[in-house]
A and B are shown apart, each in its own frame.
Chain A
Amino acid sequence: MKKPVNYSGRRKFLKNLSIFAVGSLALSGCGPVTMKEFLQKNFRTLSKKEKDDIIKDLEKKYTAKYGKEFHVTDEPAAGGVEFGYALDLSRCVGCRRCVYACVKENNQSRDPQIHYIQVLQMEKEKGIDFAHSDVHYNPELVPEEGYFYVPVQCQQCRNPQCTEVCPVKATWQEPDGIVVVDYNWCIGCRYCMAACPYGARHFNWGEPTIPADEINPETHYLGNRPRMKGVVEKCTFCIKRVRNGKYPACVEVCPVGARKFGNLLDPDSEIRYILANKRVLVLKQELNTQPRFYYFFGV
């Protein structure tokens, strides 16, 4: 029989290797994440005090990072409000101003680039036909002859498939109808992106970058506060603005007035007028997502 060799050297090496591996894994995965942040609970299970505490920390962190005074709110939904959106397909000229106003308002990453609004160019002869649409159209002047434009963003479905599939309840529908994401709870599995039939969810594939002079310091915890690498984000109808009685940025910037927004529960709102007097349609009606985002032909 062979004399048992002394394995302690190899074993020690293996042990060191595993400590090194676990340590470096934890460090590189963590980055600047603090223990406190790591242990933070789901937003909906936090107490008022915990929320205030977290928000104060965030404001400090963002202010230091971007050199501007930051405000983060967690203003909840107001009672008696359910937001609805209508987009006039006969007016949209495909200028993409909404896309960039959205990026600016909502602090989307510039590189890698994230756009909440995808404007699809479609052939007039084919009607609404995604398979033949083009999101990368790039002529000198829009609109182009023979084409019309269908901007698509989160449809804020009444029956959202994205929130249902989330394994950790990191995304949900607020009482005013806005579907939000808790960026600190999202594990980044992207099941919601597979579930969304409108391509409305976007993932931070890399560390998001925003130039400090372009940052919007007025933010909402569930909306446009700066995000981190590895989480999903989406259109929230500009939650920070609309919960303060303002229009979403895309509505405000639209040069042709194709975008309408309002409270579906208010019988005198513009959105209710459109529903009552125009003929509206929703995208992919057959999927029974029941969007709060309507398309119509105003003229």
Chain B
Amino acid sequence: MNFFRFVNGSFKIITKGSASYYAWVTFLILLTVWGGFGYANQLAHGLIITHMRDSVSWGFYIGNFTFLVGVAAASVMLVIPAYVYHWKPIKEIVIFGELLAICAVIMCLCFIVVDIGNPLRFWHMLPGIGILNFPSSLLSWDFFVLNSYFILNLIIVVYLLYCHFYKKEYKVSFVMPLVLLSIPLAIGIHTVTAFLFNALPGRPFWNSALLAPRFLASAFCSGPAILLILFQILRKITKFEIKDEAIWTIAELMVYAMFIYLFFTVAELFKEFYSGTENILYWKYLLFGIGENHEIVIYSWSSIIMGSIAFLLFLIPGTRKNFLTLNIGAVLIYGSVYIEKGIALIVPGFTPDTLGQIYVYTPSITEVRTAVMIFSSGFLLFTFLSKIAIAIVFEDYCIDDISTKKREEKVGKIPVAM
């Protein structure tokens, strides 16, 4: 019953807001609907209206999935520096990091659902009623760790907010072990996702031991980039207090991650290009194109250029400590990793295909619309969850505000959200 009132109270928060809040929500709903019609079209005709074919049998959807696993993983790993450096708002960082992780995992699962040919048969994967090929299939591992991660984060966040809502002290002995468990699990989800590709000896482009380390390094670039911007917004509109130094430290950690990522990539490129075996073809296709087929080159180089600019902006102390250039850098690195995971990781794995044939893949409009649907509904969810969290954590929205008797006493000081 108490929990129901908590949910009810949360629901009240998301239906109230300023004009700009409504505008933002409407915008996201419109995008979701626009994308949704694209997806409805795919449901009706099948995956034939994507540009995937037998040669390139995974594409943009699986790329997005991979990217979002990284976001989900990295947003929780940010708890480590917050803990080590004793940043003051560590609880808030945990809450918003995990909220982002929850939304990212939901989006991940959505990208899997839209990618499979028979979404209605999804229940075949559920242990108990279906058959999960565990432990043989890495996909079953991924399904397992993603769901555990999702449930764990959900428990932590809901518990923290619930306690706040009822003005109770939360039990550190309950939350702390869960938070500590979520960190290795965050590393786990991204490692298992990398192993998903890594496990295929028939695809030399992914069959490199550096794949999982590169995944983690790139996730440490893109995940904090979102939170970096989110923290600045929160700082402006709420009582959230995060010092400039903490933000700069996040940026500094991102530079290390970028450097490690760069180093791993250079090591990979050295091995491939110096040894020059026939496996070099995949990298050639990615970076220069093969023969007449250059369609993917624009993606790889835009990712490289955006990443390099972001690296420089974050590396030079002057631009790192300037919030304008810092934010430009955050957007650039986010874009760079997004293109890298979305296109540049998946497509060259399949091109040339196992029999040496080249099928040129770029996402179709349906794929883009479906991705827009998932991203905008994911953002919508994140907006709602953040709004609830902001109200509860920073604006002292609590049980008193919805129990009618006490409301009358409080009239006039109900917080104006956003």
- The answer to whether B57 and A194 touch across the interface, beta carbons within 8 angstroms, is yes
In the bound complex, residues from chain A placing their C-beta under 8 Å from that of B355 are 118, 120, 130, 133, 135, 152, 198-199
* Count of residues in A whose CB is under 8 Å from the partner chain: 60
Q: B139 at interface (Cβ–Cβ under 8 A)?
A: yes
Across the interface, name the chain A residue whose C-beta is closest to B122. A187
Are A133 and B200 touching (Cβ within 8 A)?
no
Does B130 contact A168, Cβ atoms closer than 8 Å?
yes
Those of B139-183 within 8 Å (CB) of chain A: 139-140, 143
* Cβ-neighbour of A167 out of B43, B54, B115, B133 (below 8 A): B133
Chain B interface mostly helix, strand, loop or mixed?
loop
A106-148: CB near B (< 8 Å → 1, else 0) gives 0000001000001010000000011111110000000000000
Closest to A21 in B: B36
A172-220 contacts to B (CB < 8 Å): 185-191, 193-199, 201-207
Inter-chain contacts of B15 with A (CB < 8 A)? 7
Contact status A287-B131, CB under 8 Å: no
Residues of A within 8 A of B (CB): 1, 7, 21, 24-26, 28-30, 33, 38, 42, 45, 112, 118, 120, 129-135, 152, 161, 164-170, 185-191, 193-199, 201-207, 229-232, 284, 287-288
Q: How many A-B residue pairs have CB under 8 A?
A: 162
Cα distance A140–B133 in the bound complex, in angstroms: 49
Query: What's the Cα separation between A197 and B310 when bound, in Å?
Result: 38
Q: Give the docked Cα–Cα distance between A167 and B122 (Å).
A: 11
Given contacts A199-B55, A205-B53, A287-B202, contact A187 B118 (CB under 8 A): yes
Q: Write 7 A-B pairs (CB below 8 A) sorted by A numbering.
A: A25-B40, A29-B43, A131-B352, A133-B356, A168-B125, A186-B121, A199-B54
Q: Which residue from chain B places its CB closest to the CB of A284 in the assembled complex?
A: B202
Partner of A196, one of B40, B53, B202: B202
Q: Which residue of B lies closest to A44 (CB)?
A: B131
Residue contact B40 to A28, C-beta cutoff 8 Å: yes
Q: A165-B137, A190-B116 are in contact. List 18 more A-B contacts (CB 8 A).
A: A130-B354, A165-B139, A165-B200, A167-B143, A168-B124, A185-B124, A187-B117, A188-B117, A189-B112, A199-B357, A203-B57, A204-B46, A205-B46, A205-B47, A205-B53, A207-B46, A230-B46, A231-B117
Query: How far, in whole Å, are A177 and B202 apart by their CA atoms in the complex?
Result: 21
CB distance from A18 to the nearest CB of B (A): 12
B316 within 8 Å of A (CB atoms): no
